[in-house]
Chain A
Amino acid sequence: MKMNVIPSAARNLLFAAGVLFASTALAAGSAEKGKAAFVQHGCWQCHGLVGQGGVTGPRLAHTALSVEALSAFVRNTRGAMPPYQKAILSEADIADIHAYLQSLPKPPDYKSIPLLKP
């Protein structure tokens, strides 16, 4: 079983790109449109329908990434995740998806879930 996580090189690229794009910040997206785009473009396949993550992709729900950093990663990833170029995923879509991910509730503390207590 492959463990698909963001490799460190890609992570560095992502944060560098986040800085680079800071001056050209993307417009705020629509969470409602983002939810549809998250499904239509296949993001859910590895990250889950509510961005919960799993062995095939890291958690995205309530991500700490800026929309610029997310865009930079999506465009330039050379890791396990296939890149999405503008031809198949617009900047507006990415902004909407980011808004959707931000709109998701913060994950509960596992200690509040009886079935997850040690």
Chain B
Amino acid sequence: MSQDTNPDRRKFLTGAAAASAAAAMAPAAKAAEPQQPPRAPSALRPTMQIAAAETQPPAELPRVPGKPGSDFMVDVIKTLGIKYLPANCASSYRAIHESLINYGQNKMPEFLTCMHEESAVGMAHGYFKIAGRPLMTLCHGTVGLQHATMGIYNAWCDRVPVIIVGGNDLDAAHRPPGVPTFHAAQDINALVRDFTKWDDTPVSLQHFAQSFVRAYKIAMTPPYGPVMMSLDAGLQVEPVKDHGEALYIPRYVPTAPPQGDTGAVKEAAKLLAGAQNPLIVADRCARTANGVDLLVQLAELLGARVIDQGGRMNFPKTHHLNAPPTAVSGADVILGLELSDFWATVNSFTDNGENGGVGTNGTRIKPGTKLISVSSVELNTKANYQDFQRFQVIDVPMAGDAEATLPALIEAVKQAGPNKAAVDRRAEAARKARAEGMERARQAAAVGWDASPVSTARLCMETYAAVKHLDWSLVASEGNVSNWPNRLWPIEKHYQWLGRSGGYGVGYGAPASVGAALANRDLGRFSVSIQSDGDLMYAPGVLWTAAKHKIPLLAVMHNNRAYHQEVMHVQRLSNFRDRVANYGPDRGPVGTTIMNPDIEYHKLAESLGWWAKGPIKDPKELGPALREAVKVVQAGQPALLNVWTQPR
């Protein structure tokens, strides 16, 4: 952009910088007059910019005439129906911030004040899993984006669309010195390019319009994923100009998701229909409620048991064909639907220190078992950050979206004609196996029922008892509670289980549950989360965001006072090396516990605007406290119970 075509913005920025510099220099010049020998400073002198920023009022800036570019950006954003914008405020996007809340009237999207960029992305992550619609967030292009990265990585691994926009002042010759330069970079998107689907740096308003709609479209085409846009500060403040071509906003038309190849679908159907013991394994298969219905249809058509690995709620836990992971051992044909790890589905790994410390591997399936895969992730693999796990040979691999492929697969299986008598036999055997499995699970839950700290089984079942009469949604279950919700809760609806973080980045649970609760609030549902201690402490400020924006959520803490996975890891290594693990003054290896002092999460939550109670150590106190908390949440306030629990 030439100086001639952009006099306003550049001049006012340089003018402001000069005014600031002059203001900062004036007292410095006065102090330089010779009076007495200068004393050695006890601390470094502030720079001129810092001195000015801290001591002088901001200089009056010239007004930019015409409609600001950031107003047009808001026009673009509004066409996409983005309801909320969780973000931590930052000067590099101040122009679009102002446009959003004033010109855009803070509606569609509504700005939600966040206290950490990772919280903002985590909220968008959880929101999508309920609403099925993406949110956008804004952040500083450098410091804010660095905070956001773990949340973005989780969204990437969990195949969740989030639109991240980072403010950045590209023009190194004219951007203000000091902080704005520290907070600028040539290519901020590079930081997250390895775990986003796409990124761009618009250099004109028309470029922004095309790229924002394109970013939304790419994020929302399976496999879903986060996208990144660098937003130049100069572009935000420039007035909309008529260059002879009127600005336009491209219409968003969703892209149909990719389906498995027709020939491969027929081959898969033939294998499944002819199998003695077909098995379905699903991880992130059901993107929508319809995906659950389709999977039930296919399973019943085949009399095939279904292992739901829990990336999403794929299959009703109450269905007689619902099966545990061990069911792979008897299968002769296995259909994997959007599996994040097909290798570990059919193989075992034991971290026992053998084979030079790398552990032992084994197969979990019969020789000759045929494997079929439908996965959209094959269409979008990155080289650096890898989440595709070990290589597994598949007999019929299909690069396509599983939910989109299911209707064709169901029709093809019908055409292939599975043996009705065999289907009925399998269904009957599955009913028996499930009943026996449930009996074992209930009996296992009874062990330690009255223990203090509270057993994870009791934690989960007391929680379920408190919400079961409501239209409940379990928005997060963090910190490993021995999988009790999936073992014993009658999870049947798509929104009753949302899966986990994706990238196993601790710190997902709290913001994602607040984001999901926001979506549930708008749908009139009751949100409940199992909130672990370590997860909450990554960025507890999100509790304030929930209180601030009146997002009702019941957070029941699984407070085992440790990063317990690491407790076990360090213990394991100590044993392998025949050393007594050093616990220091705590109840686990040094560096892995969260005790001495114990964090009073209930007080923390109270201070951030929540109703809270705890610490609850006696299991008999849990039920009454839960009933009290449920009433609070029904009245619209978030509530937290700090429960001391068993480790797993």
Contacts and interface: CB of A to CB of B under 8 A. Distances in A.
B587 A39 contact: yes
A52 B580 contact: no
Interface stretch (B30-38, B67-75, B107-115, B439-447): B439-447
B455 A52 contact: yes
B447 A61 contact: yes
Nearest to A59: B447
A80 B564 CA distance: 16
Interface stretch (B228-236, B257-265, B292-300, B567-575): B567-575
A82 B575 contact: yes
A109 B446 contact: yes
Nearest to B587: A39
B444 A59 contact: yes
Given A44-B647, A55-B648, A49 B483 contact: no
Interface stretch (A14-22, A25-33, A110-118): A110-118
B438 A118 contact: yes
A45 B462 CA distance: 23
Contacts of B572: 82
Interface stretch (B141-149, B206-214, B349-357): B349-357
B485 interface: no
Contacts of A82: 352-353, 571-572, 575-576
A46 interface: yes
Contacts of B647: 44-46, 48-49, 54
B325 interface: yes
Nearest to B456: A54
Interface in A67-118: 77-80, 82-85, 87-88, 107-110, 112-113, 115-116, 118
A64 interface: no
Interface in B469-497: 480, 482-483, 488
A1 B571 CA distance: 19
Contacts of A49: 448, 451, 453, 646-647
Interface string A35-46: 000011010111
Nearest to A105: B450
A106 to B, nearest CB: 9
A113 B568 contact: no
A52 B447 contact: yes
B578 interface: yes
Contacts of B63: none
B575 A110 contact: no
Contacts of B456: 54
A57 to B, nearest CB: 8
A45 B445 CA distance: 17
A115 B144 CA distance: 46
Contacts of A78: 350, 352, 354, 360
Nearest to B440: A110
A87 B578 CA distance: 6
B385 interface: no
Contacts of A59: 444, 447
B449 interface: yes
B646 A108 contact: no
A79 B350 contact: yes
Contacts of A54: 456, 482, 646-648
Given A45-B588, A107-B447, A108-B449, A56 B648 contact: yes
Contacts of B326: 3
A3 B325 CA distance: 9
Interface in B409-462: 438, 442-449, 451, 453, 455-458, 461-462
B580 A88 contact: yes
A50 interface: yes
Given A54-B482, A55-B648, A83 B446 contact: no
The size class of the interface chain B forms with chain A is: 35 or more
Contact of B445 (A39, A48, A55, A116): A116
B648 A46 contact: yes
Contacts of B325: 3
B604 to A, nearest CB: 25
A79 B574 CA distance: 16
Contacts of B390: none
Nearest to A87: B578
B581 interface: yes
A79 B352 contact: yes
A87 B574 CA distance: 11
Residue from A44, A45, A80, A110 with most neighbouring chain B CB atoms (10 Å) = A45
B588 A52 contact: no
B45 interface: no
Contact of A45 (B446, B461, B564): B564
A116 B575 contact: no
A44 B571 CA distance: 11
B418 to A, nearest CB: 30
Nearest to B564: A45
Given A42-B581, A46-B648, A82-B352, A55 B564 contact: no
Residue from B351, B572, B579, B647 having most chain A Cβ neighbours under 10 A: B647
Nearest to B482: A54
B352 A52 contact: no
A84 B446 contact: no
B465 interface: yes
B587 to A, nearest CB: 6
A85 B578 contact: yes
A82 B455 CA distance: 24
Contacts of A57: 648
A77 B480 CA distance: 24
A36 B354 CA distance: 30
Contacts of B455: 48, 50, 52
Nearest to B481: A54
Contact of B448 (A2, A45, A50, A110): A50
Nearest to B461: A115
Contact of B568 (A3, A45, A115): A45
A84 B574 CA distance: 9
B578 A52 contact: no
Contacts of B350: 7, 78-80
A1 B572 CA distance: 17
5 contacts: A42-B567, A52-B457, A78-B352, A84-B575, A88-B574
Interface of A: 1-3, 7, 39-40, 42, 44-46, 48-57, 59, 61, 77-80, 82-85, 87-88, 107-110, 112-113, 115-116, 118
Given A45-B571, A118-B442, 7 more contacts: A45-B564, A55-B648, A61-B448, A80-B350, A82-B572, A87-B578, A116-B445
